[in-house]
Amino acid sequence: MLITINNKKFTDNSKEANNEVAFVYSAQNEKFCDDAKNNGCNELIASENLKDYVDFSKIKVIGITGTNGKTTTAAAIYSILLDLGYKVALQGTRGFFINDKKIEDYTLTTPVQLANFEHIQKAIDNQCDFFVTEVSSHAIQQKRIEGIDFELKVHTNITRDHLDYHKTIQEYINVKNSFFNDETKKLINRDDKIVKFNTKNAYTYSLDNPSTYKVGAYSFKNGMNVMFSNIEKMHSFSSLMMGIFNIYNLMAAIASVHLTTNRNLDEICEVVENFAGVSGRMEVVSNNPLIIIDFAHTPDGMKEVYESFNHKDIITVFGAGGNRDKEKRPLMGQIAAKYAKQIIVTSDNPRFEDPDLIIEDICTGIKDKSNLLIEVNRKEAIKKAIEQAKKNENSVLLILGKGDEPYQIIYDKKLPLIDKDEVLKHI
């Protein structure tokens, strides 16, 4: 891609490089350096030197990584900072935003290095005080975040995902942990047993283990009420959001804002209530019957959602994405079987795989098939699940995996399908 920073042009694609456009090379594209030169380019810049072109003293960058909760935590930080009167940019799975305005739609959670720098410069040009970004494991591994001077690095949790790309869970864990190797100020979830980090400038949050920001008590009535301590002082906040994992996400957000602004914690807690959550994440789309849409697409993400509804009869609809981690499929089936009264297995984004075979993979994890229904057509599956939900007053219907994705990917085509719209057709 070609970008302009302060009137200077850069590209990471040798085909776009010439005597006016510098070629930025990294492990990803260094094999094309000669091609860039052949195209008349006489300025080749190593990716680690790109940082010399952006003035990081003008903006505080907050990066959030972890298997789950990046988008939610990033959005909460963004919302709190905006409410406290700061100018803020946000970049992640849902796009690129500046001060509540959507600037770009996205396909990647963390874009390539040049796009990161272009966005940070755009945020600086818009006088933003903060740049909040999700950091995916792909981005760490491919050094898409190289040269970014982080003010704070935030960890949500490490479970399993993306083994199609990282091959082994250990490699995935190593990549995630490598983000926290240096002495940058960092905020770590103390209840995660997997994370390893450089303890210099480390702060922690938790529900179970001792930490800097430690939850003491919480209750779920009309959302959540949470009390936590920081240096022996108690603070509290309320939110309409649900799920224990959202307590973690909100604690991470509150602590992040505290660590980067030095504002008083009570002042921060007061505006947490204004954050209504991210669409497609634990989103209640109907109260009677109770129907919730969530983006959980890993065994752990699903478990977290199901555990939040232990007191209900769970009906669940989900599938698994094609051409992605296959090993997670039976585990997803297993988790659903453990918690749900009625399971409807359907398609997610089949991509280039046969949807029936993906479903078969999931079903190998479901030993007792008596409450299992297979419906390959996602729209039909949702319709059938709603019929079931209407028959049971104590039910909750949990439709998982796609959140607010506006399409279903079949081969390389994106066909319109929005879980929420399908639900609204039948209630």
Ligand X SMILES: CC(=O)N[C@H]1[C@@H](OP(=O)(O)OP(=O)(O)OC[C@H]2O[C@@H](n3ccc(=O)[nH]c3=O)[C@H](O)[C@@H]2O)O[C@H](CO)[C@@H](O)[C@@H]1O[C@H](C)C(=O)N[C@@H](C)C(=O)N[C@H](CCC(=O)O)C(=O)O
**Near ligand ATP by CB under 6 A: residue from 157, 177, 212, 239:** 157
When asked if residue 300 is in the footprint of ligand API (CB under 6 A), the reply is no
Per-residue CA distances from 59 to 116, 130, 150, 300 (Å): 13, 6, 9, 35
Nearest-CA neighbor of 187 among 233, 223, 154?
154
Instruction: For helices 265-272 and 244-261, give the axis angle rounded to 10 degrees.
Output: 140
Distance CA 307, CA 97 (A): 32
Query: Phi-psi region for residue 323, left (φ > 0), alpha (ψ -120 to 50) or beta?
Result: left
Residues near ligand X (CB under 6 A) are 12-15, 28-29, 32, 108-110, 112, 136, 138-139, 165
Query: Phi-psi region for residue 282, left (φ > 0), alpha (ψ -120 to 50) or beta?
Result: left
Q: Which residues contact 391 (CB under 8 A, 6 or more apart)?
A: none
402 binds, among ligand API, ligand X, ligand ATP, none (CB under 5 to 8 A by kind): ligand API
Q: Which residues contact 358 (CB under 8 A, 6 or more apart)?
A: 319, 320, 322, 329, 347, 348, 350
**Near ligand ATP by CB under 6 A: residue from 214, 281, 402, 420:** 281
Answer yes or no: are the C-beta atoms of 240 and 232 closer than 8 Å.
Answer: no
> Which residue's entry shows tokens 């935590």?
73
When asked if residue 70 is in the footprint of ligand API (CB under 6 A), the reply is no
301 binds, among ligand ATP, ligand API, Mg ion, none (CB under 5 to 8 A by kind): ligand ATP
Q: Is 349 annotated as a binding residue?
A: yes
When asked if residue 297 is in the footprint of ligand API (CB under 6 A), the reply is yes
Tell which positions 393-422 bind ligand API, by CB under 6 A: 401-402, 405
Distance CA 343, CA 373 (A): 6
When asked if residue 144 is in the footprint of ligand API (CB under 6 A), the reply is no
What is the number of the residue whose Cβ is closest to ligand API? 321
Answer yes or no: are the C-beta atoms of 383 and 390 closer than 8 Å.
Answer: no
**Near ligand ATP by CB under 6 A: residue from 3, 269, 290, 305:** 305
Q: Is 142 annotated as a binding residue?
A: yes
**Near ligand ATP by CB under 6 A: residue from 72, 133, 211, 239:** 72
**Near ligand API by CB under 6 A: residue from 12, 348, 375, 422:** 348
Give the per-residue contact string, 85-114, with ligand ATP (x = CB under 6 A; - = no): --------x---------------x-----
The residue among 48 and 307 lying less far from ligand ATP, judged by its C-beta, is 307
When asked if residue 78 is in the footprint of ligand ATP (CB under 6 A), the reply is no
When asked if residue 71 is in the footprint of ligand ATP (CB under 6 A), the reply is yes
Q: Which residues contact 314 (CB under 8 A, 6 or more apart)?
A: 306, 339, 340, 341, 342, 395, 396, 398
When asked if residue 304 is in the footprint of ligand ATP (CB under 6 A), the reply is yes
Q: Is 69 annotated as a binding residue?
A: yes
The residue among 67 and 239 lying less far from ligand X, judged by its C-beta, is 67
Quote the tokens at residue 201. 């400038």
Give, for 4, the enclosing helix (H) or strand (E).
Answer: strand 2-5
Distance CA 395, CA 94 (A): 30
- Tell me whether the omega of the peptide bond preceding residue 289 falls within 30 degrees of 0, making it cis: yes
- Give the β-pairing of 407-410 and 413-416: antiparallel
Measured from the Cβ of residue 238, the count of other Cβ atoms closer than 10 Å reads: 16
Answer yes or no: are the C-beta atoms of 2 and 21 closer than 8 Å.
Answer: yes
147 binds, among ligand API, ligand ATP, Mg ion, none (CB under 5 to 8 A by kind): none
Residue span binding ligand ATP (CB under 6 A) among the ranges 20-28, 198-206, 244-252, 417-425: 244-252
408 binds, among Mg ion, ligand X, ligand ATP, none (CB under 5 to 8 A by kind): none
Q: Least distance from C-beta 257 to ligand X, angstroms?
A: 23
When asked if residue 29 is in the footprint of ligand API (CB under 6 A), the reply is no
Which residues here bind ligand API, judged by CB under 6 A? 297, 321, 324, 348-349, 401-402, 405
Q: Which residues participate in the annotated binding site?
A: 14, 66-72, 109-110, 136, 142, 144, 324, 348-351, 401, 405
Site residues (vs ligand ATP, CB under 6 A): 66, 68-72, 93, 109, 134, 156-157, 245, 248-249, 281, 294-296, 301, 304-305, 403
Binding residues for ATP: 66-72
